[in-house]
Amino acid sequence: MAWFRNLVQLSSLKSSLRSRTATTPFPNTHFVSILQFSSQPNSEPTRHVPSSGLGPTSSKEKPRVVVLGSGWAGCRAMKGLDTNIYDVVCVSPRNHMVFTPLLASTCVGTLEFRSVAEPIARIQPVISRETGSYFFLANCNRVDPDNHVVHCQTLTHGANVLEPWDFEISYDKLIIASGSVPLTFGIHGVEEHAFFLREVHHAQEIRRKLLLNLMLSDVPGISEAEKQRLLHCVVVGGGPTGVEFSGELSDFIMRDVHQRYAHVKNYIHVTLIEANEILSSFDDRLRHYATRQLTKSGVRLVRGIVKDVKVDKIILNNGTEVPYGLLVWSTGVGPSSFVKSMEVPKSPGGRIGIDEWLRVPSAQDIFAIGDCSGFLESTGKPVLPALAQVAERQGKYLAEQLNRIGKAGGGYANRARDMEFGEPFVYKHLGSMASLGRYKALVDLRQGKVEIRTPSKQFFLELSLTIKSGAY
């Protein structure tokens, strides 16, 4: 069970709980059940963590880099860190990295869920085998930059589990890569009734709901109106995620539903709702091509703004009511509550403000990368888009910088204050791609989204992919 491999790290907290068993009703047998799912040999020695967490490192220990998050940015940074110089501690609510561009394909069975997730222990093996390096399944609630400490709380799910508890981790270098959260714009009912598409469990819930609606719609006694509602899939947001999911759904309808659910094949359809133009970051010609292809695939495009979300319908700003059986919300991302709570200068849009070297200027030894960070206005640089290629390259750049600093003796806390960080981070956009279903896709190879648009600096490519079924 590779999914539980990193959960073995929780066994290191076993000793810290022994002192609490007199006042807490949690037997240590909970940890035994976790170890039974571990792929690690039982002979591996247990690494104990002090009850208060991890204290400051001594001169006899390697400096500690704490990474908050396990997304594109955090995992790339962990992978690039020189573990001969640093101990690595990752704190994240998930023990794997998700290849988000392929999540839409897992919702309809084109790909299996295990194909889009990679355990963190495979990305950076030291967290599961080296003394001083750990993975903790937890959320970071607060950062204390003055004392170089992060305050965390363990993450538990379901009934009959351990109550979460707080612990602290001292750091020499802190990398904040906590990502972003879906934007709902404060619209009533979105959180309660809509599905997002950011995590593996989101894709699992969408697949479960879609198949349930298909089976319920074929049961005797259901009315025609209710059957049409159950089989109406609505996608809100015309960005790459919304367009790709709509394309995957149309493929699923044409290939699977028409064969396996022939009794209801004429009822199921997809509606994509967007306030402006779909794929607004792409070139005009590519947007028009996408519109034609989606319409040809049976996707209904509606321009409108969602005003309210009910349990069985959404209401647009013009009063139109749109019944639905499945609602997927994909209207962009924004800063999380953790990022909002941090008392540091923010970039436009509310992200953690960083300088040209990805440092948080107001706090020593703290760096921020990925969707949670943005250049401060004082740098003169625009806030980079929330893309995987941005996060991946920031993680790679930061790991190289920290390795260089560590070799020069600046790995410990407050040791790099007067050190030069070398060349600043420079982002070059490599292009964007979006699949439309039916083996068709768009590729926009402009050199940069923030550059002045001149014909000599950009070109566009429209591809109709003819790939054998299952090749991707």
Specify which of 10-24, 323-337, 412-426 reaches the highest per-range mean pLDDT: 323-337
Of 28-32, 65-69, 130-134, the poorest mean pLDDT is in 28-32
Higher pLDDT pick, 246 / 457: 246
412-442 in b/e form (b: 16+ CB < 10 A) is: bbebbeeeebeeebebebebbbbbbbbbbbb
Res. 37: pLDDT tops 60: no
Q: Which residues contact 312 (CB under 8 A, 6 or more apart)?
A: 229, 323, 324
**pLDDT for residue 20:** 39
pLDDT at 46 over 50: no
Mean pLDDT across the stretch 356-384? Answer: 96
Work out the average pLDDT over 135-151: 96
Residue 156 banded pLDDT, cuts 50, 70, 90: confident
Q: How confident is the model at residue 55 (pLDDT cuts 50, 70, 90)?
A: very high
Q: Using 50, 70 and 90 to split pLDDT, how confident is the model at 158? A: low
pLDDT per residue as tens digits for the range 188-217:
999 999 999 999 999 999 999 999 999 999
The whole-number average pLDDT for the span 272-297 is: 95
Per-residue pLDDT at 39: 35
- Give the pTM: 0.83
- Whether 333 shows a pLDDT value over 50: the answer reads yes
Q: What angle do CA 308, 309, 314 make, to 5 degrees?
A: 90
Query: What's the angle, vertex CA 151, arms to CA 147 and CA 156, rounded to 5?
Result: 165
HSE value, Cβ hemisphere, 13 Å, CA-based, for 256: 12
